[in-house]
Amino acid sequence: METIGYQYQLTLRSFLDYGLIYAPNQVIKYRDELQFTYLEHYERVKRLSNARLIWE
Amino acid sequence: MLEWDTHRYLEAHWAIPLYGSLFHTVNIRMAPEQIAYCINHAEDVVLFINEDFLPLIESIQDQLTTVRAYVLMSDKKDFRPETSLPNVYLYEDLLALQSPDYEFPEISENSRATLCYTSGTTGNPKGVVFTHRDLFMHAVSVCMTWGLYPGGMEFRANQVYMPLTPMFHVQAWGVPYFAFMMGCKFILPGRYEPDKILRWLHEEKVNFSHCVTTILHMLVFHPDAEKYDLSNWHVGLGGAKLNRQLAERAWELGILTQSCYGMTETCPAMTLGQLREEHLDLPMEDKISYYIKSGIPWIFSRVKVVDDDFNELPHDGHSVGNVVVRTPWCTHEYFREPEKTRELWKNGWLNTGDVGYIDPEGYLMITDRNKDAIKSGGEWISTLILEDAISQFKPVLECAVIGVPHPRWDERPCACIALKPGETATAEDVRAHLEKFAAEGKIEKWWIPDLPDGYFFVDAIPHNYIGKIEKNVLRQMYAEKHK
């Protein structure tokens, strides 16, 4: 059957996207050592995603 | 990935499944040869390794058949390790070199996302796979169920969240995914150190965690526990049964605890000790009776108890049978193990291997986890109920009941008991304590372990990495003693 519209896929993407919409400046703290905002965290996620090209 | 609960783990939890790869979260508590088995069975291509696990991987590198690259991770800024591994990259250098621009590909919700291995009592570890859709539905249900009523767990937007069940174990219950969605502040503890965890709980005003019972035990009985304000902390408990003693001790410190029953294959949610409308005004002591139950299903979860012919048993509070479940997130496959998958899904329901009953209010009570059940003279004895009764005896720090061979009854229960430091108690004292429970009808009189061999005092009760009591180790210790 022909698909009309958009078949929204239930992937983890939705959780990541909504956190960035709702609380982009919220923080992720790691022990007493480091702190990132959600936006900074997202940037690191994207850098890590690009790194896959090295071994693929 | 072999890593503690760090920001790096969270980064990989998004990146790897979202660019369409399968993310194997390696169980770092397994023996090195089991870890090698899992990495080869999963056909891992790249290994991300915290420096603490570098010696372990170096020791098995010759056995690894599919790994093409190793990415090393450390908290140190000037991390320059010496290693015998080939094709090594450093995580921070790798990130620094890459572009921050990336578009995630469109992937199917039925793509495999995560893989974690679980060790059974026999045979090789089995790889449990979850798809994006499984993780999505699990998160939606958990989020809704914990938010059902005010005054309960109430996991909501902008709370302060600290995971205390490891990220390698069923994706930390998937909570990081939706904690991010809800804009929660994350406090990531790295390697678990009770002193530091207590301080962070207080300083950061952490108000939500999922935790294994052994870690909670360590925290609430810690000598410094009362120096800290833990009064807004809500904790979902898994790994092993939450007993009344632990729940009450936690409440003395103002900590709200709730039992969550599940297993790796169920992602892990199945049931939870959730209150209903009519329980909301009860005194805390009575609420705790519900909080520590295996409980009622999470939203969308279907649970039933069946006999050996797969007939559903009545909700009468005493018909004990096999617990089976269907949810929109249970694993569809043990990775590359079609036979074991069929066995798990016999009759179209996921067979948990646990036994229990459902009471007239609809609450499930697990009476025994897989293989721990005791059959004495043809009748079941619930080790979990006995353990709960024994743990309410004040000098007892922790206890575990095992079945030991008996010439007449096949098996009799034996209570393995670790006492609190400085406390003393004899087998007779414990027996007298249990006789009170029997007189009140809380346990059967014939369940009470026999003197003298039914009471086995040990220095400490052994646990595995997720906090489950290692009853097989206790059985060996008992056998050694009675050789």
The pLDDT tens digits of the residues spanning B17-44 come to: 999 999 999 999 887 888 999 999 999 9
Can you identify the CATH homologous superfamily of domain B131-368? ANL, N-terminal domain (3.40.50.12780)
Q: Which of A19, A29, A55 sits opposite B188 (nearest CB)?
A: A29
CB atoms inside a 10 Å sphere around CB B227: 10
Domain-embedded: residue A8: no
Residue spans of the domains in chain B: they are: 7-107, 131-368, 374-481
Domain-embedded: residue A37: yes
CB atoms inside a 10 Å sphere around CB B259: 24
Specify whether B14 is catalytic: no
Domain-embedded: residue A44: yes
Q: Which of B196, B371, B375, B481 is catalytic?
A: B375
Give the integer Cα–Cα distance in Å for B263 and B116.
12
CB atoms inside a 10 Å sphere around CB B392: 17
Domain of A28 in residue numbering reads as 13-54
B146 φ/ψ angles, rounded to the nearest 5 degrees = -70, -20
Tokens of B27: 């169980």
Residue B13: is it exposed, middle or buried by C-beta count within 10 angstroms (0-12/13-18/19+)?
A: buried
Tell me: pLDDT of B121 over 60. no
- B226 contacts B198 by C-beta, under 8 angstroms: no
Tally of domains in chain A: 1
Domain-embedded: residue A5: no
Q: Which of A10, A43, A46 sits opposite B136 (nearest CB)?
A: A10
Residues 6+ apart with CB under 8 A from B35: B2, B26, B27, B28, B56, B60
Read out DSSP for B239-272?
Answer: SS---HHHHHHHHHTT-EEEEEEE-GGGSSEEEE
Tell me: pLDDT of B59 over 60. yes
Domain-embedded: residue A17: yes
pLDDT at res. B124 = 86
Between the alpha carbon of residue A24 and those of residues A40, A48, B56, the distances in Å are 9, 19, 38
The residue in chain A having the minimum alpha-carbon distance to the alpha carbon of residue B161 is A28
Query: Mean pLDDT for chain B?
Result: 93
Domain-embedded: residue A1: no
Domain-embedded: residue A4: no
Tokens of B146: 């914990």
Domain-embedded: residue A24: yes
Higher pLDDT, B125 or B39: B39
* Topology match between the domains B131-368 and B374-481: no
Can you identify the CATH homologous superfamily of domain B374-481? ANL, C-terminal domain (3.30.300.30)
Residues of B numbered 198-237 whose beta carbons fall under 8 angstroms of chain A's beta carbons: which are they?
200, 204
Is A41–B196 a contact, with Cβ atoms under 8 angstroms apart? no
Give the integer Cα–Cα distance in Å for B80 and B194.
29
- % of chain B residues with pLDDT over 70: 98
Higher pLDDT, B368 or B282: B282
**Exposure letters A3-38 (e unless 16+ CB within 10 A, then b):** eeeeeebbbbbbbbeebbeebeebebbbbeeeebeb
